[in-house]
């Protein structure tokens, strides 16, 4: 969709600088942050989203703004004294272990920016780190009468001092969301020792129309009221996994935005996604994530790189 017919997508959450320590000893510094990566993916896929975030007027903040602008992401930033950062230490398989220095507060945000959206995505640290997390929850509650809500817990355990409180907040957001995407690691942290399919079905019963659990190289499983859909993993030579889950989330939102079910219509009877359509959307999202892991950092594909993959 283009122009006036395009879904208005707002992403709320942290934008920061990733300081990546590689096994070789090299240290790279690049813009990132899970919600910012989702917005970047949507921008590269032609969705022109708005990212609501928090940034400082410093060199790192300026770099993040330029990075997002290059991919057609509009940024609405609440002023901060410093731009947040995350240190990622990569293991031999390219998986990242994170340490964060985050400042998250949306005090002073004009809520009208969010209230005009057709689809709002939230997740990761911004959904659980106070004081901004409560503000995110209030925005979701306010906008969900007219907009679809997508949510990715993207748990960062290193930041969690009160697991019970985080699990309660995640549960609240699952109940408010239309689409939930979580990694298998997220599910195991949130619901230790439980079967992934069982958890996905339980989350679905709380209110979402679609719950997706990504399985890394093994693909993904998705549950709707029509049943369970599974897709295999996409082959990739992994450089690192930074931004892979965010790329999957962005491509999933892009696929849903191409349907007529954007906005509160997704909750109406018959508003679900047909199984064949869902399989195509998930396969394309997995392909997008495979491209991201094949190159360093959070570098999701552009629309042309996914040509031939069903939207």
Mean pLDDT of the 163-177 span: 97
Give all domains of the chain, ordered by start, each with its CATH number: 3-301 (3.40.1190.20)
Sign of the four-CA dihedral 144, 147, 153, 158: negative
Kindly state the tokens that stand for 92.
């031999």
- How many Å is the Cα radius of gyration of the chain? 18
Residue 5's pLDDT band, with cuts at 50, 70 and 90, is: low
39-63 pLDDT tens trace: 999 999 999 999 999 999 999 999 9
CB atoms within 10 A of CB 270: 6
Residue 1's pLDDT band, with cuts at 50, 70 and 90, is: very low
Q: How far is CA 243 from CA 81, 90, 121, 246, in A?
A: 26, 13, 16, 5
Give the pLDDT of residue 97: 74
Output the average pLDDT for the chain.
Answer: 91
pTM for this entry: 0.92
- Angstrom distance (rounded) from CA 42 to CA 247: 9
221-241 pLDDT tens trace: 999 988 999 999 998 888 888
């Amino acid at each position: 969709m283009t122009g006036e017919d395009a879904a208005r997508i707002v992403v709320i959450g942290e934008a920061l600088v990733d300081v990546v320590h590689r096994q070789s000893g090299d240290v790279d510094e690049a813009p990132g942050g899970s919600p910012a990566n989702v917005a970047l993916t949507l921008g590269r896929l032609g969705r022109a989203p708005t990212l609501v975030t928090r940034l400082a007027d410093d060199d790192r903040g300026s770099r993040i703004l330029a990075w997002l602008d290059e991919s057609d992401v509009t940024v609405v930033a609440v002023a901060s004294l410093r731009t947040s950062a995350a240190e990622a230490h990569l293991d031999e398989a390219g998986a990242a272990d994170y340490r964060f220095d985050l400042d998250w507060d949306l005090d002073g945000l004009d809520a009208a920016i969010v209230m005009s959206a057709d689809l709002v995505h939230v997740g990761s640290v911004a959904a659980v780190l106070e004081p901004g997390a409560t503000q995110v929850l209030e925005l979701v509650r306010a906008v969900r009468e007219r907009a679809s809500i997508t949510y990715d817990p993207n748990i960062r355990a290193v930041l969690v001092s009160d697991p019970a409180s985080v699990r309660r907040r995640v549960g609240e957001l699952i109940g408010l969301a239309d689409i939930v995407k979580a990694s298998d690691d997220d599910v195991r942290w949130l619901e230790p020792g439980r079967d992934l399919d069982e958890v996905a079905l339980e989350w679905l019963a709380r209110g979402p129309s679609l719950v997706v659990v990504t399985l890394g190289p093994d693909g993904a499983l998705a549950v709707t009221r029509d049943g369970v859909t599974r897709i295999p993993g996409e082959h990739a030579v992994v450089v690192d996994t930074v931004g892979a889950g965010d790329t999957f989330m962005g491509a999933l939102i892009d696929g849903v935005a191409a349907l007529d079910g954007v906005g509160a219509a997704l909750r109406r009877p018959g508003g679900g996604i047909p199984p064949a359509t869902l399989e195509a959307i998930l396969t394309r999202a997995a392909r997008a994530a495979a491209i991201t892991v094949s190159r360093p950092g959070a570098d999701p594909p552009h629309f042309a790189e996914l040509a031939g993959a069903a939207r």
